[in-house]
């Protein structure tokens, strides 16, 4: 994986902490900038109001850019945002000890440890999250991707679904179908891996590794790729609008992006395929309100709502 890929992964983690940290679990308001002026985060010249959320994000951005933890103190009254700021600086400076300043039970602490581990490409740092936990597994996968070493995936246990996901993540990040061979050619895991690489490179040519364009394996690969990239136009490559394969592909994309608009644009309304598409999106969204598209009070709407509730458990 290229270094910019590693940096992208880290930036995503920082962004997640910022988004989750938009104010506040303290109930304190206050005027943005009242705590201090070290970061010189000011309202736009246009007169746009700077909300606490915008101010906190600005302080964090400056603190991370300057790699100065002290700047985060300007938003200490906003606990969640402060934790996000500290996490961002820790990742930028690759200092795992800085993460210890954050409540270890918080999401920001977990993001912090994972981010530093990936930035340092140090899988041992993941152990702070507790071996075997969901966060630990995610951290190990992140380091495996950053290191471009599938050997790191073995820490997850070669007979686990997490190991398979890790191998696929490394293959997709490297856009290297050769890595997929570790999952065993001819297996579903191998096919899923090839589709992920194809999606990462936005190139259906990779699906040729599974067979020619007339084979079901090739068609499944393109359909999986279409879902992964959220592009229903790719479905036309596996068949025309009359084929079941095309319709299933479209439904897969609609579910992937969780948008009934895909069903409405690509499928004829009130057909069994359209109804199935709407129902599938409703289940994916977890919202029974989506089922109303099928007609309030209709059997289709009732069955759809029941499916949504059943999926929620």
Q: What is the pLDDT of residues 103-137, one digit of tens each?
A: 999 999 999 999 999 999 999 999 999 999 999 99
Question: pLDDT exceeding 70 applies to what percent of the chain?
Answer: 84
As a whole number of angstroms, the distance between CA 145 and CA 184 comes to 20
Q: Is residue 8 part of a domain?
A: yes
- The pLDDT value given to residue 257: 96
* Neighbour tally for 100: CB within 10 Å: 14
176 is a domain residue: no
Q: Is residue 144 part of a domain?
A: no
Among 120, 141, 169, residue at a domain's last position: 120
C-alpha gyration radius of the chain: 23
Residue 51: give the domain boundaries: 1-120
Q: How many CA atoms lie within 13 A of 192 on its CB side?
A: 14
DSSP 123: G
Count the neighbouring beta carbons within 10 Å of the beta carbon of residue 179: 21
Distance of CA 160 to the CA centre of its chain: 21
Band of the pLDDT at 102, cuts 50, 70, 90? Answer: very high
Instruction: Give how far the C-alpha of residue 99 lies from the chain's centroid of Cα atoms, to the nearest Å.
Output: 22
pLDDT band at 52 (very low <50, low <70, confident <90, very high): confident
- Computed over every residue of the chain, the mean pLDDT equals 87
Residue 18 lies in a domain: yes
Q: Is the dihedral of CA 174, 178, 182, 187 positive or negative?
A: positive
Please state, for a pLDDT cut of 90, what percent of the chain lies above it. Answer: 79
Q: Mind listing the pLDDT tens digit for each residue in 223-247?
A: 999 999 999 999 999 989 999 999 9
**Domain ends where: 120, 150, 179?**
120
Last residue of one domain, picked from the residues 89, 120, 151: 120
């Amino acid at each position: 994986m290229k270094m910019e890929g590693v940096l992208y992964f880290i930036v995503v983690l920082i962004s997640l902490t910022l988004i989750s940290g938009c104010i506040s679990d303290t109930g304190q308001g206050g005027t943005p900038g009242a705590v201090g002026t070290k970061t010189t985060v000011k309202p736009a010249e246009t007169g746009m109001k700077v909300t606490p959320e915008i101010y906190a994000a600005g302080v964090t951005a400056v603190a991370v850019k300057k790699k100065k933890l002290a700047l985060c103190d300007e938003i200490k009254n906003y606990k969640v945002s402060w934790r996000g700021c500290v996490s961002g600086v820790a990742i930028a400076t690759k200092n795992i000890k800085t993460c210890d300043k954050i409540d270890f039970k918080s999401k920001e602490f977990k993001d912090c440890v994972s981010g530093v581990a990936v930035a340092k490409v140090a899988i041992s740092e993941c152990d702070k999250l507790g071996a075997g936990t969901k966060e630990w597994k995610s951290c190990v996968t992140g380091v495996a991707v950053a290191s471009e070493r599938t050997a790191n995936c073995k820490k997850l246990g070669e007979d686990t679904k997490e190991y398979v996901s890790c191998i696929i993540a490394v293959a997709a990040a490297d856009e290297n179908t050769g890595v997929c061979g570790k999952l065993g050619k001819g297996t579903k895991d191998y096919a899923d891996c090839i589709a992920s690489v194809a999606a990462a490179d936005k190139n259906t040519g990779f699906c040729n590794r599974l067979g020619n364009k007339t084979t079901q394996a090739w068609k499944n690969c393109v359909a999986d790729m279409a879902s992964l990239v959220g592009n229903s136009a790719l479905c036309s490559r596996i068949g025309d609008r009359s084929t079941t394969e095309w319709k299933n592909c479209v439904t897969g994309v609609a579910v992937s992006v969780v948008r009934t608009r895909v069903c409405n644009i690509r499928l004829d309304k009130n057909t069994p395929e359209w109804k199935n598409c709407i129902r599938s999106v409703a289940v994916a969204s977890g919202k029974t309100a989506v089922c109303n598209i099928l007609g309030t009070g209709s059997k289709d709407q009732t069955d759809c709502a029941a499916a949504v509730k059943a999926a929620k458990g």
